[in-house]
Chains A and B, each alone.
Chain A
Amino acid sequence: MEFFDNELSTLMPAEGRVEAIAKVTGKGKYAAEYTVPGVCYAVLVTSSIPAGTIKAIQVDKAKRATGVIDILYHQNKPVVPGFADETKIRESRVGLPVFYTDKIYFKGQPIALVVAESLEEATYAASLITADYTAEVFNVDFVKTHPSIPLKAAGKERGTVDEWSNAIHIVEAEYTIKEEVHNPMEMHATIAEWVGDNKVKLYEKTQGVNSVQRVISGLFSIPRENVEVISEFVGGGFGSGLRVWSNTLMAVMASLQVKRPVKLMLTRPQMFSLVGYRPESWQKIKLGADSSGKFSGMIHQAKHTTSVFENFNENITRIARLVYDFKNLKTESAIVPLNLGTPTWMRGPGDCTGDFAIESAIDELSYKLNEDPIALRLKNIALKNDPESGKPWSTHFIDECLEQGATKINWKNRKQTPGQVTEGDWQIGYGMAIGMWTSGRTQASASIVLDKSGTIIVRTAMTDIGTGTGTAMQNLAHESLGMPKNKIKVELGNSNLPPAPSQGGSTGLASLGGAVMDAATLLKQKLATYAAAINAQYKDAAAADILLSENGISYKQANAQFISYADLWKKVDEPTIEAEATSAPGEERQQFAFCSSAAHFCIVRVHSKTGKVKVDRMVCVADGGKIINEKPAANQVSGAAVGGIGMALMEEQQADVKFGSLLGNDLAGYHFAVNADAPIIEVSFIDKPDPNINQMGSKGLGEVGIIGCAAAIANAIYNATGKRLRNLPITPDKVLLG
């Protein structure tokens, strides 16, 4: 986007988001910011050891502290039917049966919850609680442990390994990535209030209100509609809000126990162990090619951490089966249980990790073949059909992404031999990689409400975690109805609104957009019916013939057969006219496969004496189908790319293998990329509608912005220096010693 790409651009910025003013004025409320009369405050006490059993908890001192209302722990908690026995606990799939076990699985696990009149009192009282444990042997050492965990087939083998074991060119290498944490700006928080015997209301930081509703209603055995979940503003998620974590549960339990609304917000340090992370991983790639550069086969093996109480598999090898046309392909994986919290999906889950290894190996192969890495990829990309299902891609424009990206970054200036370009002590190199993601879509509902004053409200339960969903809803409603944008309001993130899936996996808009458009059609049909009673012209009107303006509706052309809302409402009994629609994937999923993709290009400079790496330019060209609103779309991709810089160069969360503690749990020590680390990300889109995916032709965008970034940077470092660095993050020490 010109406005973003060019610092000196004189263009007007594109118009803002629907929620922008509420956010910057502080009027928009995040979960913990609601005022609930009678609210009390909960603060967590966590385990100081990584494995064992609680022998005793000393809560007496804390109980006597001023302001303390109650203390929940495994011997003092309300009944949670979903935790009634071991089987139920397993079936609940919430992971940690908090307060329903005396077992300690990881350091930082909640062992008690102090509820007090004020946050300060609860915080102080929490510090007075001590526990005795029977400590057990623990393990947080992924590097030492993973070799002993056997690999298992991950998907059906294609062809055989024998067929290419003597391929002319082989790259075989191992890759590792350290644990990364999401840590969105807004910390996980819940205000829970039981508003009746079996009715609970939650202000919750989540990426999906309906999923919270489902989990809580299941655990507490109450009807789903009795759980109201509100999450109107979300300060980022990156996947950490896709699950219901123990904090939500504890708030609901505490509120049940003390019969008052309870607010629980995790502290920043607690965010590091209680709401998931991208697991540490190991991968091995063996990639073969014939002399023409056609891939003859690949073996992709991957392992990553999970917790000892839950199996989480993020399917790192999935992307091996998606992008390239491998006749022979073997994918294997394993998960390695450690005494850490359970990992979870983090932006581009699995694929981001797998892509780094594959795209690094392909880059390495390109140098062996002395072939341009773009040309090598184009030779091997499965451009027509999904290599896994065999179905034709509905649309797939990665070739165009590559072409445009190469032009933008001036790829022709890249030197095929590494280490050729220097500027003083700096070595300069070009790198690229591609990313892909299957474009999913799930059932979603939306409604549109028109009132007498000519105001539209578009509604859905889906959250907007910063992706621009609300803005896109407004755009779609505007395009479908003709109503000016300033007359279209958006309401979302509330379980009382039409149901929608969680916002994750790049499926949000692709799922919801169709429902908004269908609701618009239904609304126009309703309006036509009312209008026909006033003006016969409207009798045979199709939805497409109806145009809405601030003052009334018209037929086919603006102001033709105009009926004002005031006149229209003479025929309408209700104060509003409302239409709700549900849209879902269908037949097209049998016929086609769907994907989004992106080509990432970068120029880096590497300091030969200090190991410092600077990303000078970063170009990302993405195919997300039809782009509904370029500004938030580009914002998504550039945010993801900055995340990719962090993944490539600095993000790592480690644990001490001797003590089982996380090493550091604050944002001063955990380095994610900041503005100073990132150039202006040059984002552009193919912007061609996919005719089959949904009514708009929009595919997902949230993940492909990061998938491929890390490899592009590592590949550029190789081009600059001749050092092939396969362990992320590539901090200056690795460059110096590499």
Chain B
Amino acid sequence: MTTYLEFEKPLAEIEGKAEELRAMARNNAEMKVEKEAAALDKKAADLLRELYKDLSPWRKCLVARHPDRPHCKDYIEALFTEYTPLAGDRNFADDHAIMGGLARLDDLPVMVIGHEKGNDTKTRIERNFGMARPEGYRKAIRLMDLADRFGLPVITLIDTPGAYPGKGAEERGQAEAIARSTQKCLEIGVPLISVVIGEGGSGGAVAFATADRVAMLEHSVYSVISPEGCASILWKDAEKMREAADALKLTAQDLKKLGVIDRIIKEPSGGAQRNSAAAIASVGSELALMLAEFAGKKPADIIKERRRKYLDLGTKGLAA
């Protein structure tokens, strides 16, 4: 069952008609519908390509949040072997919004860390919709530190609406936890590769995405604030999220121009949610390419270059 987004309604109609025709034919052998249905299929495929050719920033936000998109857990299961989750921040709790542990990518041992949003009501609540609490950042700090001491590259998969605006999260110092996590990203002498697979929400994303290489899926977004939040502050009207999404320049394409990210990873036609396996495979091959760039690099040089990269960031603007 495909979950259609609001702007995909015309597509839903066409695909629905084709499905209806075929259903009728299944009950009545006399009916010859395949030709008509195939024409509808083609129409649908063309429309899908057309819709996704030039998605507006707001539509990209909707696609990036699509419930059927592959999540961190799917990437880990498909791309890595021997995934061994490591739990807890050794201080307060284990944060289920953050997955993390040892794993192998093409036999190479790595540390993988990512936000997991969950895929049904039960798991979404368990995962807190991918919003980490301080324990999540502190677990990640611990895992990055472990990776650093044993020379394992770190791979982070970013997919979060942002940090969790809760009483306990604030009391336990989520600002400090995010700051320390970003700091740890800048201190480790192993390659740190980050892929934004869905939503890169503000500080919750930066805490893991301060990396040597940052890639984004074609229709993912990465922003300082959600378009809704920005609209309600600057436009005093949360309904102006389309305008805010435009203004924020939060798409992979704009971020690449600004020099904030290094690579854009192509998604299958109609977005990762229509073909998880293909999306996951593209991420896998891009990860391998990015990791290969660090073969033989000295830890001190890795740290130095990473810092240089951030110090130099922001000299490129977008021509208005």
Q: Do the two chains belong together in a single complex? A: no
